[in-house]
Amino acid sequence: MEKTFNLAVAQSPGELSGPEERLHWLSSKLKELDGKTVDLLLLPELFLTGYNVGERLMNWAEPCDGPMALRISELATKHNIAIHYGFPERRSDGVYNAAQCIGSDGQQLSIHRKLILPPGFEGDHFQAGKGCNLFDLNGFKIATLICYDAEFPEAFRHVASLGAQLVLVPTALGAQWGVVAQKVVPTRAFENGVYVAYANQAGSEGDMTYYGGSCVISPNGEEDARAGDNEEILIASLSTSKVLAAQKRLPYLSDLKRIDL
């Protein structure tokens, strides 16, 4: 039976300063979505704190059920929408670059901890996550990969092989890496026959300029929606039938098992 899924992707401004200002911005955007049929809102990597904020990021880290998470849970319930957001997660063994999805009932649906940390600040401050998981929402099987994770075809192929029909990718893509948003992300969708939603920030944050370019890519690799380099909310309607059609037309996932390397 065909299922449809209505997705919003937020390209938030990098200039937002700290969790309070970011939650205020989120609240205002949720009010704008009221009255529209949207199942889930996807926010960028480390949305809660900002990405290029130095050591303040560590100070703002919290558990997955911390004070800010509870406030996002209240917003999800109030606006009857699932909210998927990035945040620095504090655990007993360190801090993780994480993203979690809070359902419209205020309960956690999933959490993903970034698997592959690029060198520099992330590698010096975060612990690497392990494993991937899928969650179900309104008939769609959904996986999360965070930014650099998605640049590895192995990670994408893994979640697609688990049955993911939609892969959510919160990111903090700098202006010099536009090829990822324009070329790599559509390729990942095409070679796995899945939807990909890519949420980046816009503008600048400290000495970092973001590329923007948030997008929703269909299972055939074509754009369903694409942002420019300014703040924007994308809305797209997804269908499980398009996933099935793409994977039937190009059965990469099943034919992979036939390769004798």
Query: Sign of torsion, CA 252 254 260 261?
Result: positive
Distance CA 230, CA 219 (A): 26
Alpha helices in the chain (DSSP H): 18-33, 56-60, 67-79, 121-125, 153-161, 178-179, 185-192, 240-249, 252-255
Query: Sign of torsion, CA 140 189 51 203?
Result: negative
Catalytic residue among 147, 151, 205, 242: 147
Q: Read off the tokens for 95.
A: 């801090």
Q: Active site includes 130? A: no
Catalytic residue among 62, 89, 101, 114: 114
Distance CA 30, CA 23 (A): 10
Q: Active site includes 62? A: no
Q: Give φ, ψ of 26 to 5 degrees.
A: -60, -45
Q: Active site includes 45? A: yes
Alpha carbon of 129 to those of 1, 13, 34, 205: distances in Å? 35, 27, 35, 25
Which secondary-structure segment (H or E) carries 237? strand 232-239
Q: Which of 119, 117, 131, 106 is nearest to 46 (CA)?
A: 117
113 within 8 A of 130, measured Cβ to Cβ: yes
Residues with active-site annotation? 45, 114, 147
